[in-house]
Amino acid sequence: MTQSVDHETVVTRLLGADDILILCHKNPDGDTIGSGAALCLALQRLGKTAAVLCSDPIPAMYDFLPITEFDGSYTPRFVVAVDVAGIQLFGDRNHMADYAGHVDLCIDHHGSNSGYAYETLVDDHAAAAAELLTALIPELGVEITPDIAACLYTGIATDTGCFRFTNTTAATHRAAATLIEAGADVERLNERLFECRSHARMEAERLALESLEYYFDGRCALICLTWDQIQAAGVAGAELEDLTSLPRSIEGVEVGLTLRQQKDGSYKISVRTGHDTNACSIARRLGGGGHPRAAGCEISGNLDNAKHAILDEVRKELERSGAACAQEPET
pLDDT digits (tens, 9 = 90+) for 143-157: 999 999 999 999 999
Q: What angle do CA 50, 64, 241 make, to 5 degrees?
A: 95
**Among candidates 144, 165, 189, 149, which has minimal Cα distance to 242?**
165
> Stretch 266-270: mean pLDDT, rounded?
95
Q: Confidence class of residue 95 from pLDDT cuts 50, 70 and 90?
A: very high
3-state secondary structure of 319: helix
Residue 331 has a pLDDT of: 46
Q: Confidence class of residue 50 from pLDDT cuts 50, 70 and 90?
A: very high
Q: What angle do CA 168, 10, 153 make, to 5 degrees?
A: 35
Residue 325 has a pLDDT of: 52
Averaged confidence pLDDT in the chain: 93
Of the listed ranges 48-62, 192-206, 244-258, 314-328, the least confidently predicted one is 314-328
Residue 71 has pLDDT above 50, yes or no: yes
pTM: 0.84
Residue 323 has pLDDT above 60, yes or no: no
Structural Rg of the chain based on CA atoms: 19
Are residues 67 and 39 in contact, defined by beta-carbon separation less than 8 angstroms? no
Domain 3-194 architecture: Alpha-Beta Complex (3.90)
- pLDDT greater at residue 196 or residue 123: 123
Q: What are residue 213's DSSP bridge partners?
A: 222
Q: What are residue 223's DSSP bridge partners?
A: 258
Residue 147 has a pLDDT of: 98
Extended strands (E) in 87-210: 105-108, 119-122
Confirm or reject CATH 2.60.40.10 for domain 199-320, answering yes or no: no
User: Considering the chain, what percentage of its residues have pLDDT values greater than 90?
Assistant: 81
Q: Which run of H or of E encompasses 267?
A: strand 267-273
Q: Confidence class of residue 276 from pLDDT cuts 50, 70 and 90?
A: confident
Q: Confidence class of residue 166 from pLDDT cuts 50, 70 and 90?
A: confident
Q: What is the distance between the alpha carbons of residues 191 and 173, in angstroms, rounded to a whole number? A: 19
Residue 61 has a pLDDT of: 87
Residue 322 has pLDDT above 90, yes or no: no
Domain boundaries along the sequence of the chain = 3-194, 199-320
Q: Confidence class of residue 221 from pLDDT cuts 50, 70 and 90?
A: very high
pLDDT digits (tens, 9 = 90+) for 169-189: 999 999 999 999 999 999 999
CB neighbour list of residue 114: distance below 8 Å, 6 or more residues apart: 85, 86, 87, 289
What's 330's DSSP letter? Answer: B
